[in-house]
């Protein structure tokens, strides 16, 4: 590690952030960069030239965990060969394995869970000025992004992710998200709209609504049609030309939502619904709703209201207990 010299004394500290995982994780990374920028750090893409390196990790599946560990180990090397003075590991891996990682990775200066990332500037200051101090910053909850948190976008200037909720109340048997991110927490419509207006004023023309389950937005706040109400409000921002929806749970797509998608041209003709499988028994084992017939009906209703719609989905093949011929995703055609 190269120490800061007298020549460096008058220069701002530099930070490099490596983000892994989903768009929701990216929003957290953007908030961390916003906090660090507000605290006076200069952002650099050259990790070997950064005083502070942050690796924002994913742990959703085995491959994601392996990628996260590889990236952290690469960053550990920068403490020996670069100018890195402090290495922080944040995100889902830190949240999920907060007890194990400090023992396995003694070179890391702080582990920051999903509930503490808005305090990243404070944690970084302590890691830089009090080496080998408190290393574990993991609580039993996830922080809810709010409009008052500064944010530095990593997307092209014309588009931005807009996280509308955190966590999930579902218990899908293959998914670790509720254990990592906790129960559903929806932002208030007013808070989401405040951030959306700020993004629009900065030149953003497309917002992409993301969450663990977008169709559940508002349910925890007693709003059964929360997503439709939010979309109606967002459509009231004239400079937003496109609003795109991600992560729509199939059995929660309501007639009102389908009708709105068909009626409003500024809602992208794009539906992202993770179907996961087509066989009823497997869907039941996955603890998800519906079966092949009901999912086909849903797709037919969506295409009837939005004829030029683009459907994006995901399927799990090789799920334990699956029987019958090899699964064919072309059943949607």
Reported as a single tens digit per residue, the pLDDT across 91-132 is 999 999 999 999 999 999 999 999 999 999 999 999 998 767
- For tokens 């003694």, what's the residue? 106
* Number of neighbouring beta carbons within 10 Å of residue 329: 12
> What are the pLDDT digits (tens) for 161-177?
999 999 999 988 888 88
181, two tokens = 């991110």
User: Are residues 253 and 299 in contact, defined by beta-carbon separation less than 8 angstroms?
Assistant: no
Q: Name the token pair of 111.
A: 């582990």
Name the band, by pLDDT with cuts 50, 70 and 90, for residue 4. low
CA-nearest of 101, 107, 40 to 75 is 107
Task: Assess contact for 42 and 170: CB atoms under 8 A.
Answer: no
Of 269, 270, 273, 278, the closest CA to residue 330 belongs to 278
Cα angle 311, 312, 314; round to 5: 135
Domains of the chain and CATH, by start? 6-137 (3.40.50.12160), 159-332 (3.80.30.20)
pLDDT at 1 over 60: no
List the one residue out of 34, 17, 28, 25 whose CA is nearest residue 150: 34
| Contact between residue 93 and residue 65 where contact means Cβ atoms under 8 Å apart | yes
pLDDT at 5 over 80: no
The DSSP call for residue 26 is H
Q: What mean pLDDT is predicted for residues 208-230?
A: 96
Tell me the average pLDDT across 210-236.
96
- What pLDDT shows up at residue 10? 64
String of DSSP letters for 194-224: HHHHHHHHTT--EEEEE-S-GGGTTGGGT-T
Q: Is the pTM of this model over 0.85?
A: yes
Sheet holding 136-137, edge to edge: 42-43, 14-19, 52-57, 86-91, 110-112, 136-137
Mean pLDDT of 178-190: 94
């Amino acid at each position: 590690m190269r120490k800061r010299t007298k020549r460096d004394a008058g220069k701002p500290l530099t930070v490099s952030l490596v983000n892994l995982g989903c768009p929701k994780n990216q929003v957290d990374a953007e908030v961390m960069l916003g906090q660090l920028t507000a605290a006076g750090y200069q952002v650099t893409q050259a990790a070997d030239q950064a005083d502070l390196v942050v690796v924002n990790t994913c742990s959703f599946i085995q491959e994601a965990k392996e990628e996260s560990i590889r990236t952290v180990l690469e960053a550990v090397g920068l403490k020996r060969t670069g100018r890195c003075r402090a290495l922080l590991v944040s995100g889902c891996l830190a949240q999920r394995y907060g007890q194990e990682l400090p023992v396995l990775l003694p070179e890391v200066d702080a582990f920051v869970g999903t509930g503490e990332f808005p305090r990243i500037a404070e944690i970084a200051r302590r890691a830089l000025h009090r080496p080998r101090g408190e290393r574990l910053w993991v609580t039993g909850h996830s922080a809810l992004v709010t409009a008052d948190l500064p944010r530095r976008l990593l997307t092209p200037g014309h588009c931005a992710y807009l996280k509308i909720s955190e966590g999930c109340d579902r218990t899908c048997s293959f998914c670790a998200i509720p254990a990592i991110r906790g129960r559903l927490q929806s932002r208030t419509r007013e808070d989401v709209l405040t951030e959306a207006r700020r993004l629009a004023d900065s030149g953003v023309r497309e917002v992409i609504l993301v969450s663990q389950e977008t169709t559940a937005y508002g349910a925890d706040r007693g709003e059964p049609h929360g997503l439709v109400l939010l979309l109606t409000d967002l459509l009231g921002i004239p400079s937003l030309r496109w609003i795109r929806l991600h992560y729509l749970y199939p059995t929660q797509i309501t007639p009102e939502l389908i009708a709105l998608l068909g009626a409003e041209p500024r809602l992208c003709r794009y539906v992202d619904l993770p179907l996961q499988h087509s066989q009823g028994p497997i869907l039941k084992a996955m603890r998800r709703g519906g079966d092949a017939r009901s999912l086909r009906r849903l797709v037919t209703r969506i295409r009837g209201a939005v004829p030029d719609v683009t459907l994006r989905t995901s399927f799990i093949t090789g799920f334990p207990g699956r029987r019958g011929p090899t699964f064919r995703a072309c059943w949607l055609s």
